[in-house]
Amino acid sequence: MNYLESLNDKQKEAVLYTEGPLLIVAGAGAGKTKTITHRIIHLIHQGINPEAILAVTFTNKAAKEMRDRVMTLLENPNNGNQIYPVDGIPFVSTFHSLGVRIIKERAHLIGLTKHFAIIDEHDALVIIKDAMKAADIDPKQYEPRKIKSIISKAKGDFITSETYERNAASSLQSIVARIWRDYERTLKKEKALDFDDLLLETVLILKKYPEIKKEYQDRWKYIHIDEYQDTNEVQYELVKLLVGKEENICVVGDTDQNIYSWRGANIKNMLNFEKDYPNAKIIMLEQNYRSTKNIIEAANNVIKKNQYRVDKTLFTDNQKGEVISVYEAYDEVHEGEFVAKEIEKLLQTNDPEDIAVLYRANFQSRVLEESLLSRQIPYQVLGVKFFERKEIKDLLSYIRAAYNRESLSDIKRIINTPSRGIGKVTLLKIFSNQIENLPAGMQLKISLFYKLLDNIKEYASTHTPSESIKYVIKESGLEEQLSNGPSDEQERLENMKELVTLATKYDTLPQEIGLDKLLEDASLASDQDTLMHKGKGVKLMTVHASKGLEFKYVFVTGLEQDLFPHTRNGSKSKEDAEEERRLFYVALTRAEQKLYLSYASMRTIFGSKQINTPSEFIYDIPENLTEFEQGKFGNGEKVVYL
């Protein structure tokens, strides 16, 4: 049983406990994937048929890693593989892949064949837009993406279209219910399901047909669920339905890393595990193998303030390590320069892949990218680079089209952004100078669009570049469309506002030069980005994107109150506040050897300078673990925070 030798006592206890419900509370860097894979191997070693074992996680990457580790352990002759069954392997998949498997096997029960289509987010949005057009619902008043988001969230909460329509209590809900009904009708006609249906329909099948539920319970006798704290209502229901009377379910998770409530993840699923399974055994994996003692102590002090959590305290046998650097910059440009300068020093003895720069909101990447480019430091942005983001391209296209009516690609990009009801056929007639052949109503819409371009050009001729970008955001309708949307749309608006901040650099140039120079630099920056992103480099990403990753050196930037912790529209519930703290905890625990925390005492937001106070999170770290450094301010000013 050599596979047990590399486990610590708590990991071994979790691996050997095979019968009955088991909750493994696994802290950051505590080896949860290793524990799950070794538990699967142990079950097989005990004579359990591999095909009776199910393991479910959230991403394809995580599922592949778990599957590969299981197969590597199975194939290792030191683990006694000669006694393993020769046929069959455990079923390791994502929740959605599990749904596809069950639906394909039972497709006839919901009027499908096993070759049913799965539509992606883009195709789903097209169907929503078509349904709105058929119902004569104004896409400016009811944004299609927002309606799709509401439908998706409802399905994740295990709500069907019939239930939603029955309980609709507002005009918006009535509109959503109507669109949802037509949306489902189209999917049925096309013999298709969307991503959310893959889970919802699976649950409905298992609930409706007890004999089928029993078949799957008999098939998968031992169930493992990874990242249990991130399950939403429908995933939670699916897991409960698959667990047989023996209750051989093992869930692994960490309430301190629940950071996805905005997409339906419910921390209560993990907090209530003992209530769901009264005979559950709980095992804490608190030994961290990733970080230094200083980093772990800092993380423990930060997270212990939260109340909605399973109480635990991480510890490590690693070295004490360096203290945490805390840097106060004058503004975001100085902060970027500090980060780039420190990375330059680190690269003398380290690879770029050992370093990550984290931020709370996507718009922060722009200044950081500039600083790294100025020092020719190779980098990669996880996600979309600033000038390649759709909303930034849209704004720049408005400016270009206003000055150049022959730029058909720019006009094509923005004529229906936000939606104006101008379709592809109409666009072809516009481009072939056949506008007079269109209906009067459509001619008016086109006339208003070109009038908007005239107004932009006229406004820009007498105002600064930053004021002109503000004007486009407002007058185009983009601000109204995005300001009241879900969190991803508000983030797009934040990125637009960052373009206003960038444009202030060009406000001092002569009137006729400023905007041209901004457009030119934006184009060159995109080309340069492409060059910089070939091959390896320092990683730039949001804290959300960093979950599950680890780096020797981590910079956490923008640690200012209202930015990190982040607030939207000035309001924050206790649940939101605790999630922001969990997000900071995730950021800290990505680092192996050294942490750098930074904030700017002044930051330009939407073209205006704002004075900031440091994030409350910084003060949660004991002073003996930190080393404070204040950047040199322009006129030798000193900032005092009360």
119: phi then psi, degrees, rounded to nearest 5: -90, 145
Question: For the chain, give me the number of helices (H) and strands (E)?
Answer: 27, 17
Question: 195-230: string of b/e by CB count within 10 Å (b at 16+)?
Answer: bbbbbbbbbbbbeeeeebbeebbeebbbbbbbbbbb
Tell me the β-bridge partners of 538. 379
Query: Active-site residue among 539, 590, 594, 603?
Result: 590
Asked about 389 being catalytic, the answer comes back as no
3-state secondary structure of 76: coil
Query: Active-site residue among 35, 202, 231, 257?
Result: 257
DSSP for 111-178 reads T--TT-EEE-HHHHHHHHHHHHHHTT--TTTS-HHHHHHHHHHHHHTT--HHHHHHH--SHHHHHHHH
Angle of the 293-303 helix axis to the 574-588 helix axis, nearest 10: 180
Asked about 208 being catalytic, the answer comes back as no
Asked about 94 being catalytic, the answer comes back as no
**Cα distance between residue 197 and residue 108, in whole Å:** 15
Asked about 590 being catalytic, the answer comes back as yes
Query: Active-site residue among 10, 32, 69, 106?
Result: 32
**Cα distance between residue 611 and residue 113, in whole Å:** 60
Q: Tokens 């538990």 — which residue?
A: 39
3-state secondary structure of 441: helix
Does residue 150 contact residue 165 with C-beta atoms inside 8 Å? no
**Cα distance between residue 572 and residue 134, in whole Å:** 39
Q: For 633, which DSSP code?
A: P
Does residue 21 contact residue 49 with C-beta atoms inside 8 Å? no
* Residue among 372, 393, 194, 330 at smallest CA distance from 635: 330
Does residue 236 contact residue 277 with C-beta atoms inside 8 Å? no
**Cα distance between residue 229 and residue 269, in whole Å:** 7
3-state secondary structure of 289: coil
* Residue among 512, 517, 489 at smallest CA distance from 502: 517
Query: Active-site residue among 226, 233, 342, 489?
Result: 226
Amino acid letter at 608? Answer: S
* Residue among 568, 540, 30, 561 at smallest CA distance from 299: 30
Does residue 20 contact residue 247 with C-beta atoms inside 8 Å? yes
Asked about 257 being catalytic, the answer comes back as yes
Q: Where are the beta strands (DSSP E) in 543-601?
A: 551-556, 591-600
| Count of C-beta atoms within a 10 Å radius of residue 507 | 16
Query: Active-site residue among 143, 227, 491, 578?
Result: 227
Asked about 32 being catalytic, the answer comes back as yes
| Count of C-beta atoms within a 10 Å radius of residue 631 | 16
Question: 546-563: string of b/e by CB count within 10 Å (b at 16+)?
Answer: bbbebbebbbbbbbbbeb
**Cα distance between residue 56 and residue 97, in whole Å:** 9
Query: Active-site residue among 12, 13, 33, 429?
Result: 33
- Report the catalytic residues: 32-33, 226-227, 257, 590
